[in-house]
Amino acid sequence: MTQLRIAQLANFVGPTSGGMRTAIEHLGQGYVEAGAERIVITPGERDTVIDTEAGTVIRMKAPKVGGGYRLITDPWRVIETLERFRPTTVEISDKSTLLPVARWARRNDIGSVLFSHERLDAMLSLRTGRQLGVAAGVGALYKLLSRTYDAVVVTSRYAAAEFDEVTTPLVRIPLGVDLDTFHPSLGEPVDDGVLKLVHAGRLSREKSPHLAVATAVELHRRGVNMRMDVYGSGPHLDELVAIAGSAPITFHGYVDGRRTLARHLAEADIALSVCPGETFGLAVLEALASGTPVVTADTGGARELVDDSCGRWAPATPAALADAVLQLAQLPGRRAAARRRAELYDWPTCVNHMLALHSRLAQSRMAA
């Protein structure tokens, strides 16, 4: 069997990319535990190289491009690093700036994987509030991507729909969740007659926190005895506070530590994760693993993570989602069902599927 040397490349890293970072970390740890050599390259404030038990972490000095994000704008520096590492495959979480790296891999018989963490059409529409003209531009880019990479990994059927499955080498591999960190044993809601809602995530428009807060406000307007706790920081906090008004909604800010977040999730009755353009939804899985059922939008990859035993879904409007919350609150056995659902999505399974893909591409390139 070929000794795998996997290079993970994550560009456009910033404050809203926590889910992507989590995925890359768990995959990288799994690769090393399986015997592969691994490096990960990300943008940073300055050039640093750190050797860890999960491989070498390389941060390349990169400029800020807005919203706290950093972007590697010189792919040739990446290529120089890869030439020294000599990977058997590269796994790239970037759809534009690092295209020269994928072309370099093809020229040098190195397998290339595009890890598609987001749908560009949905992300751009959510950020700009516009849909006109987005699909055409994105479609042209995706035709280029399908000709450049050996495989494109998507995490949901919703994510796959952005590509032309006839011409793109698509592989659907769902992500996992840390079932030990996020666990129902950390707590459960107090039965005091108050419906306890929770929303955890970056407070930026592409994550739809406005819709989650507006849903809680709608429930309050209807006279429901409820409260909502919001965990996360971001540029739209002032807007969200204004939307909340006098409703019993508390904004706690950034949570330091996954275990602390897991406890807060476990103590809620229902989690709201209502972004209609989410390609997967790690926040959904973290709530389910904590034993907390989820209300989500009826579009997006997050919808695929819940079933009618542990969740409800509705059109992305406050009124429809409020109806879904009230329906879910009456569902018996929902907490145990939430945990069972999350257990279908473990990291070892995800890692094994990714390793099988890397092995196949490495062997096929060596035989070319």
State pLDDT tens for residues 42-61: 999 999 999 999 999 999 99
336 lies in the same domain as 217:
yes
24 lies in the same domain as 167:
yes
The crossing angle, in degrees rounded to 10, of helices 75-85 and 99-107 is 40
pLDDT of residue 71: 87
pLDDT exceeding 90 applies to what percent of the chain? Answer: 71
Check whether 127 has a pLDDT greater than 70. Answer: no
Q: What is the 3-class SS of the chain, one letter each residue?
A: CCCCEEEEEECCECCCCHHHHHHHHHHHHHHHHCCCEEEEEEEECCCEEEEECCEEEEEEECCEEECCEECCCCHHHHHHHHHHHCCCEEEEECCCCCHHHHHHHHHCCCEEEEECCCCHHHHHHHHHCCCCCHHHHHHHHHHHHHHHCCEEEECCHHHHCCCCCCCCCEEECCCCECCCCCCHHHCCCCCCCCEEEEEECCCCHHHCHHHHHHHHHHHHHCCCCEEEEEECCCCCHHHHHHHHCCCCEEEEECCCCHHHHHHHHHCCCEEECCCCCCCCCHHHHHHHHCCCCEEEECCCHHHHHCCCCCEEEECCCHHHHHHHHHHHHCCCCHHHHHHHHHCCCEHHHHHHHHHHHHHHHHHHHHHC
pLDDT of residue 11: 77
- For 63-75, what is each residue's pLDDT tens digit? 887 666 788 989 9
37 lies in the same domain as 119:
yes
Check whether 132 has a pLDDT greater than 50. Answer: no
Q: What is the mean pLDDT of the chain?
A: 89
- For 198-249, what is each residue's pLDDT tens digit? 999 989 888 899 999 999 999 999 999 999 999 999 999 999 999 999 999 9
- For 270-324, what is each residue's pLDDT tens digit? 999 999 988 888 999 999 999 999 999 999 999 999 999 999 999 999 999 999 9
Closest listed residue to residue 183, CA positions, set 265, 272, 254: 265
Range in 102-106, 219-223, 264-268 the model is least confident about: 102-106
| Type of residue found at 133 | G
265 lies in the same domain as 361:
no
156 lies in the same domain as 201:
no
87 lies in the same domain as 37:
yes
pTM: 0.90
| Type of residue found at 130 | R
User: Tell me, what CATH number does 313's domain have?
Assistant: 3.40.50.2000
- For 155-199, what is each residue's pLDDT tens digit? 999 988 877 765 678 999 999 999 999 999 999 899 999 999 999
Long-range CB contacts (within 8 A, 24+) of 157-162: 157/301, 157/304, 158/119, 158/279, 158/299, 158/300, 158/301, 158/303, 158/304, 159/116, 159/119, 159/279, 159/280, 159/301, 162/116, 162/119, 162/120, 162/121, 162/138
237 vs 73, 202, 213, CA distance in Å? 30, 10, 11
Check whether 135 has a pLDDT greater than 60. Answer: no
Pairwise CA distance, residues 310 & 236, whole Å: 30
86 lies in the same domain as 122:
yes
288 lies in the same domain as 322:
yes
State the total domains in the chain.
2
112 lies in the same domain as 66:
yes
284 lies in the same domain as 136:
no
pLDDT of residue 278: 87
Q: pLDDT tier at 96 (50, 70, 90 boundaries)?
A: confident
pLDDT of residue 206: 82
pLDDT of residue 91: 96
pLDDT of residue 276: 92
pLDDT of residue 133: 46
Residue 40 is part of which domain span?
5-176+346-367
326 lies in the same domain as 188:
yes
Mean local confidence (pLDDT), 333-358? 97
134 lies in the same domain as 208:
no
